[in-house]
Structure 1
Amino acid sequence: MPQVCLNIGAGSKPIEGYESIDHKNGKEGMPLKHADGSVDEIYASHVLEHFSHKDISSVVNHWATKLAPGGRLRIAVPDFEWICDNYRDGKPINVQGYVMGGHIDGDDSHHSIFDREELTELMVNAGLERVGTFQAEHDDCTQLDVSLNLQGFKPVKRLTEIGKTVALLSAPRFGPTIHMRCAIHAFSLLKIPYRVMQGVYWNQVLSSVIEEELKKDTEFIIMVDFDSVFDVQDVMELCRLMRAFPDADAICPMQMKRSDDVPLFGMPRT
């Protein structure tokens, strides 16, 4: 069966193998006429910024709903952080055009701004996994320096079963460290319950709490040490690997030596 690939806001440059949706600003990309779970790839290059900032969450959620399991959503938008950095450094960039649009006609105006963190959060909230950058492959705005290019994949299975996965965070006796904030944010975003325990050694609290969880219906336990940094992408990758290797007793993320930046062991991202 041939793949169903959509190019939203195709403009005057259609992509071979893609169905062109709307030749201007992509507004016909919401709603899509395609059935839920029927599309293999949605490609939206510099389209999302043309939607109101009040609607962008609904738009991304709608696109993700149309993806088949394993399907890919690619979104490119102007990178507001890149714009701000270059403006602050006095670089000769087209700030007005990047932020507000080219205004070459009534449709060429921007209504939303994005940085990597916000776009990542939108895609994660839409249920996508393995969210990360992609290299420009087509002759369009994705090749611009200002372009933030992110892609995410529709899980083949649900990311985690609510109640089946729990996170345990070990904190020193003086309390949680600042490193743990990013992990707590990630678990909250992914709706994974977490517990913060005081005691960083196995015989203090960790072993007993793990045994307690194993007696429940818990399928996966994510352990976070007090000096580790876990973001949303790390947690999503751990969940993906847990599903991919259900017989594994433990999956270890990348750990760095304290003296240098050489990893002791790694967790591949594919």
Structure 2
Amino acid sequence: MAGLISALIGMTIEKTPAWNRLCSRLVSVRTSAIPLEVYRSSKKLNLGCSVHRLPTYINVDVQEKFKPDIVSNATSLAFAGDNEYDLIRASHILEHFDLKDCRSVLAEWRRVLKPGGYLIVCVPFYEALAWRTVLWPKGLALDERTLKNGWINGLFALDLPAEFRHKMVFSEASLRGLLHECGFQVKARLSYFKEEPYTLGIKDDSCNAFSLNLAAVKR
């Protein structure tokens, strides 16, 4: 049901100015799932930042062309000590690894988090994407638009080099299970419109109804 609701929101009301105005108001009246003191910390990593550099974060990316604060692969954070950071944000990174590598990547992220530190993981919300296909099957037509800029491209990131394309899909249950297996406790599913980077005035791939965003703490 959550996937269907997200698909309907993403295909209809999310595209309206009224929805944007409503979300802006909700930012100020609803409580964040992440403690304010965590967001205020200077020890926050934004992994795989790409062009979405977040103020107050240490922005990390493997590609120098994005001019991150630190050039590093997300699989090995050699610059970071054990138990050093209060928060790691990884927006639309985990789906680029196969299951075996997902486990080792999560182990590395857990290593650098303080005990009780927060991990925000954002991935494509496969259940919502599946419902979108049911509701509008033409979105998967085999034509130039869908292969280059449409749903097929979005599912597999076909516009990226082969090494950066998607290798995994997640449901909420499977992502929760993987995080638990790797030493995290899921605290909440995040509403993107009241969490960073949306509240910082930046919209990355996590800021829509087709993104599954979970907040977990290091056990």
Q: Is the 8 A contact 2:75 2:104 kept in 1?
A: no
Aligned with 2:52: secondary structure? Answer: coil
After superposition, where does 1:222-233 map in structure 2 within 5 Å? none
Distance 1:112 1:27, change over 3 A: farther
Aligned with 1:28: secondary structure? Answer: coil
Alpha-carbon RMSD across the aligned residues, in angstroms, is 2.5
Which residue identity is paired with 2:177? E
Specify the alignment match of 1:38 in structure 2: 84
Farther-moved stretch of structure 1 (23-32 vs 105-114): 23-32
Instruction: Name which of 97, 110, 115 aligns with 1:69.
Output: 115
Specify the alignment match of 1:97 in structure 2: 153
Cα distance in 2 for partners of 1:32, 1:135 equals 28
**When the two structures are aligned, how many residues end up with a matched partner?**
155
Specify the alignment match of 2:167 in structure 1: 111
Question: For 1:49-98, what per-residue CA distance to the aligned partner results, in whole angstroms no more than 9, with x for missing partners?
Answer: 11223311221122122210121000101011111111122256543123
Which has the higher relative contact order, 1 or 2, with Cα contacts under 8 A spaced 6 or more apart?
A: 2
After superposition, where does 1:226-265 map in structure 2 within 5 Å? none
Question: For 1:127-160, what per-residue CA distance to the aligned partner results, in whole angstroms no more than 9, with x for missing partners?
Answer: 22243211322121111221110110123xxxxx
Q: Is the 8 A contact 2:82 2:111 kept in 1?
A: yes
Specify the alignment match of 1:49 in structure 2: 95
Q: Is the 8 A contact 1:46 1:77 kept in 2?
A: yes
Structure 1: runs of 5+ lacking an equivalent = 156-270
Percentage identity across paired residues of the two chains: 27
Q: Is the 8 A contact 2:62 2:74 kept in 1?
A: no
Specify the alignment match of 2:60 in structure 1: 21
Aligned with 2:99: secondary structure? Answer: coil
Cα distance in 1 for partners of 2:133, 2:117 equals 37
Cα distance in 2 for partners of 1:92, 1:135 equals 28
Specify the alignment match of 1:152 in structure 2: 216
Specify the alignment match of 1:4 in structure 2: 43
Which residue identity is paired with 1:78? P
Q: Is the 8 A contact 2:176 2:186 kept in 1?
A: no
Q: Is the 8 A contact 1:38 1:66 kept in 2?
A: yes
Specify the alignment match of 1:86 in structure 2: 132
Structure with more helix by fraction: 2
Which residue identity is paired with 2:159? H
Structure 2: runs of 5+ lacking an equivalent = 1-40, 140-149, 198-202
Specify the alignment match of 1:217 in structure 2: none
Q: Is the 8 A contact 1:102 1:108 kept in 2?
A: no
Aligned with 1:55: secondary structure? Answer: helix
Q: Is the 8 A contact 1:12 1:23 kept in 2?
A: no
Q: Is the 8 A contact 2:43 2:84 kept in 1?
A: yes
Specify the alignment match of 1:143 in structure 2: 207
Cα distance in 1 for partners of 2:47, 2:55 equals 13
TM-score if structure 2 supplies the norm length?
A: 0.63
Distance 1:114 1:27, change over 3 A: farther
Question: For 1:179-231, what per-residue CA distance to the aligned partner results, in whole angstroms no more than 9, with x for missing partners?
Answer: xxxxxxxxxxxxxxxxxxxxxxxxxxxxxxxxxxxxxxxxxxxxxxxxxxxxx
Which residue identity is paired with 1:32? L
Distance 1:92 1:40, change over 3 A: farther
Distance 1:92 1:65, change over 3 A: farther
After superposition, where does 1:158-177 map in structure 2 within 5 Å? none
Farther-moved stretch of structure 1 (99-108 vs 44-53): 99-108
Cα distance in 2 for partners of 1:15, 1:116 equals 26
Aligned-pair CA distance for 1:108: 4.3
**Is 2:190 the counterpart of 1:134?**
yes
Cα distance in 1 for partners of 2:212, 2:134 equals 19
